[in-house]
A and B are shown apart, each in its own frame.
Chain A
Amino acid sequence: MISCTEFIPAYSEGFKFIESMGGRDELEKFWSELSNSYLKNSLQKLLNDEGLAGCYTYWSHSLNEEAADFTMILDEERGEFSIEMHKCPSKGMLLQMKHMNPHHAYCDHCPALYKPIIEKQGLTYDHEIDGDNASCKIVIKKLEK
């Protein structure tokens, strides 16, 4: 059994495996398929139903279940949603595991998954990642008219 609590190392090794089969292009193809299939009934549906507020609903659920260390702000008046990830539980777990090396571009899967879904809704997605410290910042905004 691969427990859901062991998913992160399984995914990191999965990225290595897929990249070994077809390089970065193949890995990005997988991320794209994952984005379409995994997020269609969750983030994409919430964005359709709630607009920008769907981001708050989606990440409230997933970041709490993932026991992340974060600050999340939804500012409807400014048309902005942001996540300050102080300590990413996934990258943090991989950095703690001294017996295995994380995939060299593990953090790249987040923008690869979320950005296309967000932009499809007419929103912008900007991010800054500090993978060595398991931290990042995401800002999602309504397009200025």
Chain B
Amino acid sequence: MSQESPSRKMMTRKASDNKYLHKDFHLSMNILLKYIYENYGTDQMIRYLKQYTEAYLGSLNKKMKTGDINSLAEYLTDIYQKEDWPVDIHVTGEKIIIEQKTCPGISQIKAKGETPCPHYIETYNTVYNTLCQNTPFVYKIEFFDEETGACKQIFERK
């Protein structure tokens, strides 16, 4: 018996039927950042980003403490691949250089007519500086265009 009729529609999917890529999550993330920023200020927004990084990226931070730069490079490559986002990641034994022409978050937020949260750069700066805490690596942003998220980021051994 068909379960479809002009007045009845059904859709069934398995997780494996689709690629996991919901870019509107960037909008939800931006709303969360704005909520914290507008209600509690920049310092608390930064505190939240530290909390997130310590919780979510704690295991990567542990690997980095041993001087493992490859795990960091793999992580960075993986998140850009999953985003389907063009980026140039150059890895040597001592350094990882990441260059992007636009940021996937800022691009999606603007494409939907919204404005990125003030200090959106902290989703890079705070997250990656926290990731480097107590490791032999330092993180720096050589430049960051607030309008597009074009930037050059460097992780390097101290």
Contacts and interface: CB of A to CB of B under 8 A. Distances in A.
Interface of A: 1-7, 9-11, 13-14, 16-18, 21, 30, 33-34, 37-38, 41-42, 56, 60, 62-77, 87, 89, 92, 97, 99-100
Given A3-B79, A60-B11, A69-B13, 20 more contacts: A1-B124, A2-B29, A4-B26, A4-B105, A6-B79, A7-B29, A10-B32, A13-B55, A17-B36, A17-B48, A56-B9, A64-B17, A69-B14, A69-B15, A70-B11, A73-B9, A76-B7, A92-B15, A97-B56, A100-B55
Contacts of A17: 36, 47-48, 51
Given A99-B59, A100-B55, A10 B29 contact: yes
A38 B112 CA distance: 11
A1 B79 contact: yes
B103 A33 contact: no
29 contacts: A1-B123, A1-B124, A2-B29, A4-B21, A4-B24, A4-B29, A4-B104, A4-B105, A5-B21, A7-B25, A7-B26, A7-B29, A14-B52, A21-B39, A21-B40, A30-B35, A34-B28, A38-B27, A64-B18, A65-B20, A65-B23, A67-B17, A68-B13, A73-B3, A73-B9, A74-B9, A75-B7, A76-B8, A92-B15
B55 A2 contact: no
B10 interface: yes
Given A13-B51, A100-B56, A71 B10 contact: yes
A100 B54 CA distance: 10
A87 B14 CA distance: 9
Nearest to A56: B9
B158 interface: no
Contacts of B17: 64, 67
